[in-house]
Amino acid sequence: MGRLFGTDGVRGVAGSELTAGLAMSLAAAATDVLAGTGAFARAQDARRRPVAVVGRDPRASGEFLEAAVVAGLAASGVDVLRLGVIPTPAVAYLTAALDADFGVMLSASHNPAPDNGIKIFARGGVKLPDAVEEQIEARLAEASEQALEQAAASPDPGRLAGPSGVPEGGFGRVRDAAGEGQRYLDYLLSTVTGPEHAETGPPTHLPSPLQGLRVVVDCAHGAASMFAPGLLRRAGAEVIEIGTAPDGLNINEGLGSTHLDTLSAAVVAHGADAGIAHDGDADRCLAVDATGQVIDGDQILAVLALALHESGRLAGDTVVATVMSNLGFRQAMRQAGISVVETPVGDRNLIAAMLDGKFVLGGEQSGHIILLDHATTGDGLLTALQLLAQMARQGTPLADLAAVMTRYPQELINIKGVDKSLVASSGALREAVAAAEAELGDSGRVLVRPSGTEPAVRVMVEAVDPSQAVRLADQLAATVRGLG
């Protein structure tokens, strides 16, 4: 069995790569590791069954995959709180808030509707370290071998691979807990109003944190649809919503954080102060200013870093970013006296570096922003609240806030249909990258890497001259395509 877990859980085409049988078996394997006798096990009361929370985004395949995960958990003796359609960061938050042993989210984030994925959070709502994912995969492989042996002894082709027998504490019970989403929204609101006003908002004699702002929010027909517009309204904004009619098949289709043209046009058409874009599971946030110009994750990160720095709340005067962060971001941070710690792409890498250095802020150009004072993972709704609150607090247009950094031109090309493993071993590619880097010198960067979430290789070239970035990226992409 090849490695199942990528940079953000187990992901694949629903029904073929990610099947009900795999989802059920993965849930059982995760139970053995996270609620058994391993390093992540809780000191168990023998009379208490483990508890897991399960959420999903609105894509159609989430319905049968949720059923399979819940079946695998309950058959393994886990009590399940079924959260329904809900953002990924809400699952992380509620795993901790409800004192669950672990959480499971079914989503393929920004991927199209045919894809789906399984993300697992450990106790406290934190993402799993590589070592724990490897334990789960090993347990899954072991269970698969046992199932094959049993099938050989007594074939039953209709049987799904999964747990068998009655668990020691009895089968788990399943309870619908969709109402717990309100607990998550109350908590988010408290980060800008204070915890004493979480449920009701600020008293009438105090201004709302987003008062006076007109905002367009694009929910990508995803999990944010039933959460983000209401949250922004409770915080005091006038809200125009788009992408809030999920039908199970239209998630991320021409909308959301990977398709910003519609949001830009809507912001200009409505005379809005800003636009907010989420992805399918709402762990990302990108923005658009009043003129329709895109404000990417680097710019959002820069705005939040300066705000925390100026208030003395930026731990170590350090922000964590990935290798994809723009050169202009690094220059802006250096000018402000803020250090930058660089990690590989993926919010799990950001979080690991943040925890290791006790830093509170990190993020990616793609819009994953982690505010560890408030959340254990990237949270698009939280990011939107904090960014818009800075606009309202300072009385400054978003374009002026984002102007703290100059965004260098970047050319990004995704190449599909090549063997990603050849990227590290190809001498021809190494020579092509070295030649591009020599040409750019100190005025740009080159990055070629396999995607952790898609069957693709990503080529990025950054340069002061946009035409040079395009030319070099095209040359490198041609070299990658030649790898076969």
CA dist 474 and 458 (Å) reads 12
Report yes or no: 54 and 70 within 8 Å, Cβ to Cβ: yes
CA dist 88 and 108 (Å) reads 10
Report yes or no: 232 and 215 within 8 Å, Cβ to Cβ: yes
* pLDDT for residue 156: 58
* pLDDT for residue 88: 98
3-state secondary structure of 141: helix
Instruction: Return the amino acid letter for 148.
Output: L
Report yes or no: 46 and 140 within 8 Å, Cβ to Cβ: no
Q: Residue 181: enclosing H or E segment and its boundaries?
A: helix 181-193
Report yes or no: 350 and 320 within 8 Å, Cβ to Cβ: yes
Query: Does the annotation count 109 as an active-site position?
Result: yes
Report yes or no: 214 and 181 within 8 Å, Cβ to Cβ: no
Chain length of the chain: 484
Report yes or no: 331 and 340 within 8 Å, Cβ to Cβ: no
* Exposure letters 40-57 (e unless 16+ CB within 10 A, then b): beeeeeeeebbbbbbbbb
Residue in 25, 107, 109, 366 annotated catalytic: 109
CA dist 80 and 401 (Å) reads 44
Q: Residue 241: enclosing H or E segment and its boundaries?
A: strand 238-242
Q: Where are the alpha helices (DSSP H) in 205-260?
A: 228-234
* Tokens (6 digits) for 286: 């990108």
Instruction: Return the amino acid letter for 21.
Output: G
Q: Give the right CATH number for 181-402 from 3.40.50.300, 1.10.3720.10, 3.30.1330.10, 3.40.120.10.
A: 3.40.120.10
* Tokens (6 digits) for 8: 């953000």
CA dist 187 and 304 (Å) reads 19
Neighbours of 195 (CB within 10 A): 11
CA dist 305 and 314 (Å) reads 7
Q: What is the pTM of this model?
A: 0.87
DSSP summary character for residue 443: G
Report yes or no: 330 and 289 within 8 Å, Cβ to Cβ: no
Which contacts qualify for 304-308: CB closer than 8 Å, 24 or more apart? 304/361, 304/363, 304/369, 304/371, 304/383, 304/386, 304/387, 304/390, 305/333, 305/336, 305/338, 305/361, 306/336, 306/338, 306/404, 307/390, 308/360, 308/361
* Residue range(s) of every CATH 3.40.120.10 domain in the chain: 5-176, 181-402
Give percent helix, percent strand, percent coil of the chain, each to the nearest 5: 40, 20, 40
CA dist 78 and 98 (Å) reads 15
Distance (Å) of CA 163 to CA 47, 72, 142, 172, 419: 21, 7, 12, 12, 35
At the top level of CATH, the class of 410-481 is alpha beta
CATH of domain 5-176: 3.40.120.10
* pLDDT for residue 356: 95
CA dist 204 and 235 (Å) reads 12
* pLDDT for residue 484: 64
* Exposure letters 285-306 (e unless 16+ CB within 10 A, then b): bbbbbbebebbbbbbbbbbbbb
Mean pLDDT of successive 10-residue stretches along the chain, which has 484 residues: 78 95 96 69 59 98 98 96 98 98 96 96 93 93 77 59 71 96 97 69 67 97 98 98 98 96 98 98 98 97 97 97 91 96 89 95 96 96 98 97 92 87 85 92 86 82 92 93 80
Query: What does the angle CA 259 – CA 448 – CA 406 come to, to the nearest 5 degrees?
Result: 60
* Residue range(s) of every CATH 3.30.310.50 domain in the chain: 410-481
